[in-house]
Amino acid sequence: MEVNHFILALISLSCLFSVSANAPPPFSNAFSPASSELYDMIAVMSESPSPFAFDGTTLESIDDLLSILPGGVDPALQQICGNTDHPVECIIATMPFLDENAPIEPLSVLKAGIKAMDNQTKNALAEVTKLSMDPTTPKTIVPILQTCIDVYNNILNSDQKSLEAISNHNLVQLSTELGTNVENVLGCDNAFKQAKLESPMKDMDAMLANIISNTLTIGVDMVHF
């Protein structure tokens, strides 16, 4: 089967993940054209009920996509992320933040997921703050953007509480904080919807929502102290 182009895209993505977790690139800028192409494929597969064809290869589901990821992705990570609602996004988000000295297990992947969430939230916060301070932004939009700023600050606060809960082996607090972020991440988009406007943060919020969903699944279903 003609999969060379596809495999090259995945290998490029895999090489990208060699960046140290101590100094990860900004999440929104961390992806090469190859990995952007991978995201496009994920989007098409998520939206289309029919099998997805790429370079003559038929992929029935995102699980099929996972199955041919290059060997640079640890099988333990594939297994953990494979049990989330957004497995490919789970791998993409967590790999730059994994502690290379720690075994890949649900707890270490959860910590990496929270760090990825924190990073993506900070990028979103920087973007929405920039928009709110832009003199060309309509004044009627600024209060909505302030709501988004509050939303992102709440997520950052919950992230820190989640890490504290992990340190204290407090599963109840951990589940509460991760669950709170599921609601928090909807706040910005909802504020724009109420104003009958499309959110400029829609794409960043979508990725953030996937990370939050995955961390909740891992934290609630897989982590045991």
Q: CB–CB of 120/208 below 8 Å?
A: yes
Is the residue at 65 inside a domain? Answer: no
pLDDT at 172 over 90: yes
Segment 54-69 shows an average pLDDT of: 57
For residue 116, what are the domain limits?
72-222
Is the residue at 10 inside a domain? Answer: no
Segment 46-75 shows an average pLDDT of: 59
Q: How confident is the model at residue 225 (pLDDT cuts 50, 70, 90)?
A: confident
Measured CA to CA, the distance from residue 118 to residue 91 in angstroms comes to 16
The DSSP symbol for 71 reads: T
Measured CA to CA, the distance from residue 75 to residue 146 in angstroms comes to 42
* pTM of the complete model: 0.74
Kindly report the CATH number assigned to the domain that includes residue 128. Answer: 1.20.140.40
Residue 21 is predicted with a pLDDT of 38
Nearest to 146 by CA among 164, 156, 135, 131: 131
Q: Where do we find the tokens 């279903």?
A: 221
Residue environment code for 175-212, b if the CB has 16+ CB neighbours within 10 A, otherwise e: bebbebbeebbebbbebbeeeeeebbbeebbebbbbbb
Segment 64-91 shows an average pLDDT of: 79
**The amino acid at 150:** D
**The amino acid at 11:** I
SS3 label, residue 54: strand
Residue with the larger pLDDT of the pair 164 and 225: 164
Query: Considering the chain, what percentage of its residues have pLDDT values greater than 70?
Result: 68
What is the tally of structural domains in the chain? 1
Convert the pLDDT of each residue in 134-155 to its tens digit: 999 999 999 999 999 999 999 9
Measured CA to CA, the distance from residue 190 to residue 70 in angstroms comes to 38
Residue with the larger pLDDT of the pair 51 and 181: 181
Q: How confident is the model at residue 101 (pLDDT cuts 50, 70, 90)?
A: confident
Is the residue at 120 inside a domain? Answer: yes
Residue with the larger pLDDT of the pair 49 and 3: 49
Q: Which residues contact 24 (CB under 8 A, 6 or more apart)?
A: 30, 96, 97, 115, 119
Residue 100 is predicted with a pLDDT of 85
Measured CA to CA, the distance from residue 186 to residue 213 in angstroms comes to 12
Is the residue at 33 inside a domain? Answer: no
Is the residue at 111 inside a domain? Answer: yes
**The amino acid at 181:** N
Segment 25-41 shows an average pLDDT of: 46
